[in-house]
Amino acid sequence: MAERRGTQTIERTFRIIREVAARSHFGARLTDVALRCGLDKSTTQRVLAALVRERVLEQRASDRRYLPGPLLFEFGLTVPIYRVLQDAARVPMERAARRCRGASFVYLRSDAEAVCLARVDHVAVKGAWAQPGTRRWLASLAAGLAIVVELPAAEADVLINDYLGMLEQAGDPMTAERSVVVQQSRRLGFGINNGKVAHGLASVAVAIHDPSGAPFASLSTVSDVGPYTNADLQDVLVALRADALAIEHALARRMENDRGSPDGLAPVSME
């Protein structure tokens, strides 16, 4: 029983951390964190205070809202494949953003969510508001769907059904349109939102695979030149897949070179 109570404490703490991280741009209020985590305010406040002491979270003096702390960033720096991905994606992202005359993104899968790792703007795209650290439902955007469509069918079904169920429960007026985006992406085998939800914006995304072949991230573009014609979409897709493949090759080379090396990660060469 003691072991289970200890596990529950850890799970509760991570629920709170996730809740604060999901609201990193505006900060999270104590009341909202407690409500969304299903905890009473006194318990939530004690956990938050401990996390602030450990630098996992910060509390903004001006409005007392909670934000991710420096220790989270420091921990993230120790994940080798994510550090490599940031380096390897830089040039392909610049190329993709320039080609689509918009913005490019790399998203990571985080369970049922997608987390923006990096963004590159060639021109400003009104309506493309995601920044590094932004978290979204995996099935809610083309960048996440690029990963979902390559997962085993049963796993993809759970992610999609949970997302659509959440939309229906919330009474989202765009549920039908969002469902069309999901089904179209699944049918085509890549992430696509061709102006179905955000009118005038077109987003295309392809999966990025880790060295074992599993889809763990995605490369996407967003532009306001859409919707794409079928011919334009095919051109975008071919180029984007080539960029994703370049990232995968750089990842594989770097991870292979670093096996057994005690001296850390060497710079990535995209040449």
CA 255, CA 1: separation in Å to the nearest integer?
A: 41
Question: In the prediction, which pLDDT does 253 show?
Answer: 85
Instruction: Round to the nearest angstrom and report the end-to-end CA distance of the chain.
Output: 56
Beta carbons of 62 and 69 less than 8 angstroms apart: no
CA 264, CA 252: separation in Å to the nearest integer?
A: 16
Beta carbons of 86 and 117 less than 8 angstroms apart: yes
Question: In the prediction, which pLDDT does 260 show?
Answer: 53
Question: In the prediction, which pLDDT does 197 show?
Answer: 82
Question: In the prediction, which pLDDT does 269 show?
Answer: 46
Question: In the prediction, which pLDDT does 128 show?
Answer: 83
Question: In the prediction, which pLDDT does 81 show?
Answer: 81
The 10 Å Cβ neighbour count of residue 71 is: 14
**Residues of the chain falling short of pLDDT 50:** 1-3, 262-263, 265-271
Averaged pLDDT of the chain: 89
Beta carbons of 27 and 19 less than 8 angstroms apart: no
Question: From start to end of 29-112, where are the E strands?
Answer: 57-59, 66-68, 103-110
CA 267, CA 28: separation in Å to the nearest integer?
A: 37
**Beta carbons within 8 Å of 72's beta carbon, 6+ residues apart:** 17, 21, 56, 57
CA 221, CA 123: separation in Å to the nearest integer?
A: 12
CA distances from 46 to 38, 41, 54, 67 (A): 15, 9, 13, 16
